[in-house]
Amino acid sequence: MKNETLDRTDKAILSLLQSNCETPVNDIAEAVGLTSTPCWRRIQRLQRDGYITRRVALVSAKRLGLAMTVFVQVKAAKHDDKWLDKFAQHAAGFEEVVEFYRMSGEYDYLLKVLVTDMASFDHFYKRLVAGIDLSDVTSSFAMEQIKYSTEMPLAHL
């Protein structure tokens, strides 16, 4: 199944699991028109083939007091492998960094950071820039979250 196209049933199973990974197999099977055993086999195959990478609980940032979302853009001081590896390890090591990308364009990296307030962001920022040579760092503060989803688009399959 690795390099094969997913069929309509596979896509339906993935959609249901993305919506709620705790949905009982019997309910998924009924929704997609299978019996439990073939449905369970498909789910296991989707996991084995890497379509389902893990099952997690989504936790509310708001309830945890993580009221501030900051997008931090970083320009690399150097572009050699040693510096790039060092920076990647350094930035990925912060719990506040929930997403981290190497980018094209004016800035080399984009970090999504969740913190409680400006003071906690300032503390994070000082630790981020300490001990590593950076060319430029700029931060943008999200004023409102318009859309947030962990569900992958499946319509193209």
CATH number at residue 104: 3.30.70.920
On whether both 123 and 72 belong to a single domain, the answer is yes
Number of other CB atoms surrounding residue 56 within 10 Å? 8
Both 44 and 73 in one domain: the answer is no
Which residues form the domain of 94?
68-141
Q: How many domains does the chain have?
A: 2
Is 62 part of any domain? no
Specify if 19 maps to a domain. yes
For 18, 21, 28, 38, 127, the CA distances from 54, given in Å and listed in that order, are 11, 10, 18, 20, 31
Are 30 and 76 contained in the same domain? no
Is residue 126 located within the same domain as residue 85?
yes
State the Cα–Cα distance between residues 66 and 95, nearest whole angstrom: 12
**Dihedral over alpha carbons 99, 135, 105, 116 (to 10 degrees):** 30
Would you tell me how many other CB atoms lie within 10 Å of the CB of residue 103? 11
CB-based burial label for 11 (10 Å; 0-12, 13-18, 19+):
middle
Name the DSSP letter for residue 153: P
Residue 111 located in a structural domain: yes
* Contact present, 31 and 12 (Cβ < 8 Å): yes
pLDDT at res. 3: 47
CATH code, domain with 29: 1.10.10.10
Tell me the mean pLDDT per 10 residues along the chain, length 157: 76 97 97 98 96 95 97 94 94 97 96 98 97 94 96 91
Tell me, yes or no, whether 133 and 98 share the same domain.
Answer: yes
Q: Are residues 92 and 120 in the same domain?
A: yes
CA–CA separation, 31 and 13 (whole Å): 9
DSSP, res 144:
-
Q: Give the end-to-end CA distance of the chain in Å, rounded to a whole number.
A: 13
